Amino acid sequence: MVRSEDRLVPVGAAKVDVTPAHPVVLAGYGGRTTELEGIDTRLWARAMVIGKEKPVAIVVLDNCGVPAALKERVARNLTEEGITPERLVVAVTHTHNAPNLEGYAPVLWAGRMNPGQKERMSRYTDFAVEKMAEAVRMALKNRQPMQLSWAQGRASFGGNRRVMVGGQWQGFGLQHGAPVDHSLPVLAAKDREGRVRILWANYACHCTTVGGRNHVSGDWAGYANDSMEEAFPSATALMSIGCGADIGPQPGGGLQIAAEHGQAIGKEVRRLLSGRMNRLGGAPSVSEATVELPLEDPKPRKHWEELKGRGGFHGQLGVAMLERLDAGKSVPTHVNYPVTSWKFGRDLAMVFLPGEVVVDYSLRLNRELAWPRLWITAWANGMPGYIPSRRVLAEGGYEADFSQVYYEQPGRYKPEVEEVVVGAVRRVVGEEFAAPADQEPAPFHRPPSGEDAVFERLSEWASAPGSIAEADLGKLLRQHLQAARPAIRKIHGGTAESTSWHNLAGDFVERLFIRQDKRGAEIGWESLLGEKKTASRVLCFSGGLGWSAQPETEGFALIMNGKEKLRFDLASRLSRWSSKDGSLELFYLPTWRSDLDTGGFFFLVLGNEVGGEGRLLNFKVRSLGEGSQRWFAIDARQEVSRLIPRLIEALKSPGP
């Protein structure tokens, strides 16, 4: 039970269903051509209010974006309730499966809607504005004394989606090693009895798991809210989005995956609330600064006339700029950009940024400000479009260039846009939130490796009663591990291809691989035997096998010093193949699995008749089949010397 009465503050929350009741076009994907075709999950407007005399309020809408003009309409609807515009934040979950609102990414549907569709979009927009205001009013009525606390956790399903080749943007996918923001700040409000009444979480990732399915859905953010409320039945949950403009959910592909991502958020929230939270005292103070983000110098009328003739989305941008010029207006040279902060004393600074803000801003602000006391929410208080960093502008691509067309911006930003945004944030949070000189780097900006989880699972597998680890094969592998040494001295690529794919821990690494689509495809390597005699000579390397859904062929041949020794194929569990003459055995221990592929460790066990100490051996794996995409891969960077001790520890014989 909360006893610190002096730290209680009036807090309230509410949610209102905003699922469309009539056909309407959806935002998020330019390839859609018709109104919604169904409803997968409900949509909500979720509000939280803090304070008594001059309260602050946030409302988070399940939508792709709320333009600044619609935020102003919500604020006007709340004038009598004392919610002033500067103390109101309107944010979105950025689900790409919600109705398009008037003014959002105006080129997206320009020239493609008939009068009926326009009317239905306008009607839903009015409905959404009213429901957002209604949610805030209900939250005001629901206020009661509560204790606020917060903590920073971690979620890891967001991956940088900007695929780069040779320093140039190539499209969307997963760019391994590129920056992310895996921080998950969580705010909790508990009543006098200690019950959790409100939860607010924030994560930097696009809500695009479901893809272009023309159905209404809250995507992973909606499932995250469900997961939090299932764990804390007395609570109302809010999910907002951080600087995730270039971050996408990994993997994506459907409602089930979206639910799993949402459940990952809920699980981490439960973990945080079971531990120590940082208490906050009182309602926050508000500060705001509006700055001008500089666009490239405007182009002449001739440019827009030529663009109009191209048709499509670029043509619609040309039409929009010509209409401005015909009305006596000029082509915009900047974007008005309001930056807002809620500061809970010196304990926490929340920052609210309009638009789709790329992750570089999170990285930089976490360096320059005190990241243990910082919370950044994007897609808030307006939707001017993407806010690229200096790096993203230099690299080019969607976030820097074509996205501006959707948002009816006449061109890309100038590189100094980053300094303007960061400077505004520093001003609104104040020097008290500057980073101390000895601040450690924030731990959220590199995807975590799955290694620890892999070895934990291996340990559980090895000690499970009645598991295969107790069988002769598992015992034999444990014996061989004691003598194992790195197998690969030098890789000979042969006809191998290169790509990035899941390794033994599920991380993306560079790999060399051959497929069974062409008979005779080869990959090889050199091995050097150790200088000391052992009961068995064991060489270890990391790689994988995959695409089990492809047709089965004759598999692969393992060749040693020019002679074929054995044949093998795909395996999803601990497996062994032996040569007929007993000179060579191949073990495969998968440690990462999907439905189609595996990654793990290979062990070559050599008979005593194979050469002497210090001898150089040449190995090859050759495809024996054709017409199948089944593959064998070797990790380009071998780290087995570091990993073998962890394997030995994880697979040690279970105790009595």
For residue 469, pLDDT beyond 80 = no
Mean pLDDT of 648-653: 83
Same domain, 88 and 203: yes
Same domain, 112 and 39: yes
**Among residues 448, 377, 394, which one has the least CA distance to residue 159?**
448
Q: Which one of 400, 433, 466 terminates a domain?
A: 433
Q: Name the token pair of 557.
A: 């041949």
Residue-wise pLDDT for 227-237, tens only, equals: 999 999 999 99
Domain assignment of residue 315, yes or no: no
Domain assignment of residue 446, yes or no: no
Rounded distance, CA 210 to CA 352, Å? 26
Mean pLDDT of 373-395: 97
Q: What is the pLDDT of residue 534?
A: 53
Domain assignment of residue 442, yes or no: no
For residue 655, pLDDT beyond 50 = no
Residue-wise pLDDT for 507-528, tens only, equals: 777 899 999 999 999 999 999 8
Q: What is the pLDDT of residue 261?
A: 96
Task: Assign 439 a pLDDT band (cuts: 50, 70, 90).
Answer: very high
Same domain, 95 and 208: yes
Residues 6+ apart with CB under 8 A from 149: 187, 188, 190, 277, 278, 279, 280
Q: Which one of 379, 405, 433 terminates a domain?
A: 433
58 lies in which domain range?
5-297+333-433
Same domain, 396 and 457: no
Rounded distance, CA 601 to CA 579, Å? 19
Same domain, 249 and 214: yes
Q: Among 387-391, 492-496, 514-518, which is the least confidently predicted range? A: 492-496
Rounded distance, CA 519 to CA 512, Å? 17
Mean pLDDT of 279-294: 96
Same domain, 422 and 458: no
Rounded distance, CA 372 to CA 274, Å? 19
Domain assignment of residue 443, yes or no: no
Same domain, 527 and 636: yes
- pLDDT, mean over the chain: 93
Same domain, 404 and 477: no
Amino acid at 523: I
Task: Assign 86 a pLDDT band (cuts: 50, 70, 90).
Answer: very high
- Annotate 22-57 with b (16+ C-beta within 10 A) or e (fewer): eebbbbbebebeebbeeebbebbbbbbbbbeeebbb
CA angle 634, 537, 543 (to 5 degrees): 10
Domain assignment of residue 324, yes or no: no
Amino acid at 105: A
Residues 6+ apart with CB under 8 A from 653: 475, 478
Same domain, 468 and 585: yes
Phi, psi of 15 (to 5 degrees): -135, 145
Same domain, 102 and 236: yes
Same domain, 385 and 523: no
Q: Name the token pair of 171.
A: 């499209």
Task: Assign 610 a pLDDT band (cuts: 50, 70, 90).
Answer: confident
Task: Assign 502 a pLDDT band (cuts: 50, 70, 90).
Answer: confident
Domain assignment of residue 319, yes or no: no
Domain assignment of residue 602, yes or no: yes
Same domain, 465 and 399: no
Residue-wise pLDDT for 313-332, tens only, equals: 999 999 999 999 999 999 99
For residue 76, pLDDT beyond 70 = yes
Q: Name the token pair of 181.
A: 């923001």
Domain assignment of residue 37, yes or no: yes
Counted domains in the chain? 2
Task: Assign 537 a pLDDT band (cuts: 50, 70, 90).
Answer: confident
Task: Assign 532 a pLDDT band (cuts: 50, 70, 90).
Answer: low
Percentage of residues in the chain with pLDDT exceeding 70? 95
Task: Assign 584 a pLDDT band (cuts: 50, 70, 90).
Answer: very high
